[in-house]
Every structure is written in structure tokens, then in C-alpha cells.
Structure 1
Amino acid sequence: MFRLIRTVGIIIGYAALATTKLQHMKNQKERLPTVHVQDTYITMMAKKWAGRILDSADVTVEVTGHNVNDDKPVLFISNHEGNFDIPVLVHAIDKPFGFVSKIEVKDIPFLDEWMMQLNCIYLDRSNRRSSLQMIKDGVASLKEGHNLLIFPEGHRSKGQGLQEFKAGGLKIAKSAGVDIVPVAISGTAALMEKYNSKRMVPGHVKVQLLDPVPATVFNDHSLDEVGQLVRARIDEALRS
């Protein structure tokens, strides 16, 4: 329980501290030459935040695969095990990225402004129009040169195995004309979800960055087929 309280304190406290630096960072960002460089600069603070969370929870992260860090925008598609997925992925992936988050996160103190700077997108699962707007916002973000990460399962699996993928999010990649980078993450559910979020335990997490699926895949395959292809690659990686 103490580890959980300490980690939550770090999440909120570090976000509050970082917010005091936000205006300066925004001013500095505007002087940088490209979207990729600007996003990389802003993400430095997010990576420090993620590292402190993982250290406080005594979590180690193993990253395998090819971490591409060029300026070509991509859509990351990852399975979704637990609450620690975001800090682990921010720590593990070199490319800066925004992510699709449930609308409830907007109410967490200090985080909303940082979510905006990281080019995150909110989704209200109870509102169908919100899903359509999420797709539009995701396409626009990618076309502007930002990277985006989605969890097509929609909900945390909590270590109960890979769930079915919702193909709707793949419309983002198809409409934006970007490559898809599948990501397999394992071990985060064992840190908290197995104990119903009442306590945390130290652990080891593995992140596998898989070979990109080129944007041209949509020339010959439907959204459902691409979704099945990406899911199969992630499933194979999780079983290896």
C-alpha cells in the first residue's frame, strides 16, 4: 500500500512541478524547426515523469525490436494490459507520441495541459460521436506530423489474454496514409491489476517493438483484415 501511495504522490506531484515549467517549454518549442523536433523536446519531461514512476514502483523494463526515431509519423498499435502501460511505453519508445485516452483522465489535476502538449486525444466511450471525432482528430494529428498510439482492445485485459481488436481505430492509419507499428507489452497487469488496484508489487515488463506494417497494406486488405494481421503479430510476440 505504501508503494502505491508513494507512486500516486509522484504522479501528481511531478505533474504539478512540471506544469510550472510548461510555459517556458512551450516558448522554447515554438523556436524549434520541425514538428518532430518540437514533440521530442516536449516529450523529454514526459520521459522523466515515466522514469520516476517506474523507479518508485521498482519496475524494470526490457525493450526489444527496432526503435525507429525518424521524423516520419506512424500509428503505434499496442495491446493494453494495465494501468502502467502508458508510463512504460513513454519510457520504452524513442519516438514522441500522443495517445488516445478515456475522457475521465481530463479531470486529473495538472495533467490536461500536458496531455494537450503531447497531442493526446480524448475519447468518451459512451458517446458515438466522440468515437468519430477521435478518428478525425487522429487523422489530423498524423497528417500534421505527430505520432499517435492507440489501444484497439478498448479496455485493459488485466492479464487475461489478448482481447479482440476494434477495427475502427485502424481508419486513422488508412485515412492518414501512415505505417502501423505493432507493440506487444507484457507484465504490467502483474504490477497492480491482479490485486484489484489495492496494492502494487515490483515487477519486470517486456516491450516488443515489431516490424512496421506499411501503409500500402490497405491497398489489398480491408480494415478488418489489417486488424486481424496486426493482432496476430502482437499475439505471436506475446506467446514467444
Structure 2
Amino acid sequence: MGSNIVYYLRSTLGIFVLIICAIYGVIASIVCTLIGKQHLAQYLTARCYSNAMKYIMNIDVKVIDEENLKNLPFIVVSNHQSMLDILMLGKLFPPGCTITAKKSLKYVPFLGWFMALSGTLFLDRSNRTKSVTTLHNGLTKIRNNKRAIWIFPEGTRSHTTDLEMLPFKKGAFHLAQQGKLPIVPVVVANTSTIKSSKWKVYNTGCMVVKVLKPLSTEGLQKDDIPAFSEKVRDLMDKELKELGYCPANNITNLPPNVLEAQKKNL
């Protein structure tokens, strides 16, 4: 009962932090657009959210091999587990980077307004042609301006308590091949030790993220995409299993299978 109360209290506080940062993001987006720097709005807001979560929610982010994000332009692919992924973005987002998101998020108060004003690439899952056009327009911008697109190839949050990922959609890989841009895989250790809505877990702790080396798409043909995407997924899956679970400050309040796995490692 006590852990449920903590979960709901921290969830409420977390939502409050997100709303405040989204409002900041709306203001930052407007100001950045007015001075011709719209591409910096997501970077500034992501940093704001990361710092707020660190000092208010006591959730930090540890990044391994961050230097692999230095050589723009590129396309980042990352596993997607929960809303905590926004925190990870705040720590890693290069200036000028943008994300893709489902179109429905555009209409979420504050968060959606910020995303729309800051240049997020909204994808309409019911209209593949429109989504492809949106991605191609984004590709042209990042290639010409040496920026980046951050894509979650699983397509949705997995909410998993296991060391696994959902199957990858291939849009990011087609985009990289067409633009001759490298793919930079980013792997986040399982975060269910810190937050799990199913098991009412919301602990303090540290997200662990590893940036893998860029993978070239030079010479890659359209027919090579399925095998290439599986290669990337296999690399990320292996790394996820090596990273394991994010360290949490409360190791008694964990999903059952995670608690069992933690006991085996003691």
C-alpha cells in the first residue's frame, strides 16, 4: 500500500515537472524561432527536463561513450521503454537534433504544443505516404544543415520488465540509406527498476545509456535494409543484455521477475 502511494505521488510530481518543462519549451520555441534558431528549441528544452528530473525527482543519467554522437549528421536509433526516455534524450540530445513522434501527440496540451513549435517530425500512422514525405523533408534539412534525427524503431513504448526489445520498423534504416547517413545505435538499460506503471514502481536511481559506434550506410542498397536493420537490432539486443537493469535506490520495490534476476546476481 505504501509503495502505491509513493508511486502515485511521484507520478503526479513527474507529470508536473513535464508540464512545467513543456511550457518552458513553448516559450523557448517561440523565442528561438523569432531569432532564427528554431533548431535549438528541442535541445534547450531537453536539457531543462533532464536537469529538473535530476534535482527534483532524483533520477540521473549515466552515459557511456557519448563521444560517438559528435560527428553530425546522422540518424539515431534507440530502444523505447517509457516516458523516462525523454529524460535520456535531455542528457544526449545534440544541438539541432529532432525527434519523430506519432501525430496524436501533437494535440496533447503543453507537450504537443511544444513539439509542434519546435519542429518535431509528426508521423501519421494511418497515412504512410504522408509519413514518408515528412521524413524525407526532415532528411533534407538534417543533411544540408549537419543535424540529426532521433528515431525509436520499435514504434511504441515496450513497457517491458525483461531485457528485450520489440521488433524494429525499418523506416529509420530506409531513411539512412537514402540519405547516405550513418546510423548511431543508442541502448538504454532496462528502466523498470526505476519506473514501471504495471507494478507501480517509481524509484529514484540512475538511467544507464550506451552510445554504440556509428554504422555506415555507404553502398547499402534498398534490398539490404532488412538484413541491416536486423544486424543493428542484434547489436543493440546484445548490448541491452550486457547493460542489464538500471540501478535503483530502492531494490525491494521492483517488478517480481526483476527482483528475482537481481537476487541471482548478488
Q: Same fold (TM over 0.5)?
A: yes
Q: Which moved more, 1:16-25 or 1:227-236?
A: 16-25
Closer, same or farther: CA 197–52 of 1 in aligned 2, 3 Å: farther
Matched-pair identity in %: 23
Deviations 1:183-229 (A, max 9, x none): 1012334333x333856222321110000001315159701111011
Partner residue in 2 for 1:163:
166
> Within 2, Cα distance between the matches of 1:109 and 1:41?
18
Once the two structures are superposed, residues 61-112 of structure 1 have per-residue CA deviations (whole angstroms, 9 ceiling, x without a partner) of: 1110143455621100111122211221221344542111112211122334
Is 1:148–2:165 an aligned residue pair? no
Distance verdict in 2 for CA 1:40–1:22, change over 3 Å:
closer
In structure 1, give the amino acid aligned to 2:18.
Answer: I
- Unaligned 5+ segments in structure 2 are 1-7, 243-266
The one-letter code matched in structure 1 to 2:12 is I
Q: Secondary structure at the match of 2:35?
A: helix
For the Cα contact (< 8 Å) 1:4–1:199, is it kept in 2?
no
Letter in 2 for 1:213: L
TM-score by length of 1: 0.83
Match of 2:229?
A: 227
Letter in 2 for 1:201: N
Give the one of 164, 174, 186 matched to 1:183: 186
CA 1:221–1:56: 2 relative to 1, 3 Å: farther
Residue 74 (str. 1) matches residue 74 (str. 2): yes
Distance 2:215 2:72 in 1: 14
Match of 1:109 in 2: 109
Partner secondary structure for residue 139 of structure 1: helix
SS across alignment from 1:101: strand
Compute the RMSD of aligned alpha carbons: 2.7
User: Which structure would you say has the larger RCO, counting Cα contacts within 8 Å and 6 or more residues apart?
Assistant: 1
Instruction: Tell me the amino acid that sits aligned with residue 27 of structure 2.
Output: T
Question: After superposition, where does 1:122-137 map in structure 2 within 5 Å?
Answer: 122-137=122-137
Aligned to 1:58: 58
Residues 39 and 118 in structure 1, CA contact (< 8 A), matched pair in contact too: yes
Q: Which of the two has higher C-alpha Rg?
A: 2
